[in-house]
Chains A and B, each alone.
Chain A
Amino acid sequence: MTGHGAASELIALTAAELSARLASRDVSAVEATQAHLDRIAEVDGDIHAFLHVSADALKTAAEVDGARRMGAKLGPLAGVPIAIKDVLCTLDMPSTAGSRILEGWVPPYDATVVSKLRKAKLIPLGKTNMDEFAMGSSTEHSAFGPTHNPWDLDRIPGGSGGGSAAAVAAFEAPLALGSDTGGSIRQPAAVTGTVGMKPTYGGVSRYGAIALASSLDQVGPVTRTVLDAALLHDVIGGHDPHDSTSLTDNWPSFADAARTGAAAGTLKGVRVGVVKELGGEGFQAGVSARFAKALDLMSAAGAEIVEVSAPSFTYAIAAYYLILPAEASSNLAKFDSVRFGLRVTPPGGGTVEDVMAATREAGFGAEVKRRIILGTYALSAGYYDAYYGSAQKVRTLIQRDFAAAFEKADVLVSPAAPTTAFKLGEKLEDPLAMYLNDVATIPANLAGVPGMGLPMGLAEEDNLPTGIQIMAPAHEDARIYTVGATLEALLEQSWGRPLISRSPRHPLGEGRTK
Chain B
Amino acid sequence: MSSAELMDFDKALELFEPVLGFEVHVELNTKTKMFSPAPNPAAPGAGAGEPNTMVTPVCLGLPGSLPVVNEQAIRYSISLGLALGCDIAPTSRFARKNYFYPDLAKNYQISQYDEPIAHDGAVDVELANGTTFRVEIERAHMEEDAGKLTHVGGATGRIQGADYSLVDYNRAGVPLVEIVTKMITGAGRDAPELAKAYVSAIRDIVVSLGISEARMERGNLRCDANISLSPRGSGKLGTRTETKNVNSLRSVERTIRYEIQRQAAILAAGGTITQETRHWHEDSGTTSPGRPKSDADDYRYFPEPDLVPVEPSRELIEELRAALPEPPAVRRNRLKESWGFTDLEFQDVVNSGLLVEVESTVAAGASPAQARKWWTGEIARLANVKAVDPSSLVSSEDVAALVVLVESGELTDRLARQVLEGVIAGEGTPAEVVEKRGLKVISDDGALIAAIDDALASQPDVLEKIRDGKLQAAGAVIGPVMKAMHGQADAARVRELILERANSQG
Contacts and interface: CB of A to CB of B under 8 A. Distances in A.
B100 A336 contact: yes
Interface in B42-64: 57, 60-64
A330 B300 contact: yes
Interface stretch (A53-61, A101-109, A262-270): A101-109
A352 B165 contact: yes
Contact of A244 (B61, B65, B69, B165): B69
A387 to B, nearest CB: 11
B105 A334 contact: yes
A330 B300 CA distance: 9
Q: What secondary structure prevails in chain A residues at the interface with B?
A: loop
**Most-contacted residue by chain A among B67, B165, B306 (CB, 10 A):** B306
B64 A111 contact: yes
B307 interface: yes
A353 B301 CA distance: 21
Contacts of B300: 329-330, 376, 379-381, 384
A506 to B, nearest CB: 35
A229 interface: no
9 contacts: A95-B63, A209-B64, A214-B306, A245-B306, A245-B308, A327-B302, A330-B108, A338-B167, A339-B62
A298 interface: no
Given A97-B63, A107-B57, A333-B107, 12 more contacts: A89-B63, A105-B63, A107-B62, A108-B57, A208-B65, A214-B305, A241-B68, A244-B67, A244-B306, A330-B96, A330-B302, A384-B301
Interface in B290-323: 297-298, 300-302, 305-308
A327 B306 CA distance: 10
Interface in B261-316: 297-298, 300-302, 305-308
Contact of B63 (A210, A243, A338): A210
A215 B302 contact: no
B102 interface: yes
A242 interface: yes
A141 interface: no
B66 interface: yes
Contact of B64 (A208, A213, A352): A208
Interface in B211-225: none
A379 B63 contact: no
Interface in B138-193: 165, 167
B100 A333 contact: yes
Contact of A89 (B64, B107, B307): B64
Contacts of B302: 326-327, 330, 379, 384, 388
B485 to A, nearest CB: 62
A340 B57 CA distance: 11
A376 B108 CA distance: 13
Contacts of B108: 330, 333
Interface residues of A, number: 44
A349 B63 CA distance: 26
Interface in A343-386: 352-353, 356, 376, 379-381, 384
A338 B62 CA distance: 11
Contacts of B501: none
A226 interface: no
A109 B64 CA distance: 10
A339 B98 contact: no
Interface residues of B, number: 30
Given A108-B62, A214-B306, A339-B105, A244 B298 contact: no
A359 to B, nearest CB: 12
Q: What secondary structure prevails in chain B residues at the interface with A?
A: loop
B69 A333 contact: no
B68 A244 contact: yes
Nearest to B94: A244
A209 B105 CA distance: 18
A211 interface: yes
A333 B298 contact: no
B106 interface: yes
Q: Which 8 A-B pairs have the closest CB atoms?
A: A333-B107, A379-B300, A214-B305, A215-B305, A208-B64, A210-B63, A89-B64, A334-B61
B380 to A, nearest CB: 42
A213 B68 CA distance: 17
Nearest to B36: A242
A109 B56 CA distance: 10
Contacts of A105: 63
Nearest to B98: A330
A379 B107 CA distance: 15
A190 interface: no
B154 to A, nearest CB: 13
Contacts of A245: 305-308
A227 to B, nearest CB: 29
A329 B107 CA distance: 11
Interface string A318-346: 00000000110110011110111000000
Contacts of A334: 61-63, 105-107
Contacts of A254: none
A340 B52 CA distance: 14
Contacts of B308: 244-245
Contacts of B66: 206-207, 242-244
A356 B64 CA distance: 20
Nearest to A389: B302
Contacts of A339: 60-62, 105
B298 A380 contact: yes
Contacts of B165: 352
A88 interface: yes
Contacts of B68: 241-244
Contacts of A108: 57, 62
Nearest to A355: B102
Nearest to B35: A244
A336 B302 CA distance: 21
**Most-contacted residue by chain A among B62, B69, B298 (CB, 10 A):** B62
Interface string B332-349: 000000000000000000
A356 B100 contact: yes
**Most-contacted residue by chain A among B65, B105, B307 (CB, 10 A):** B65
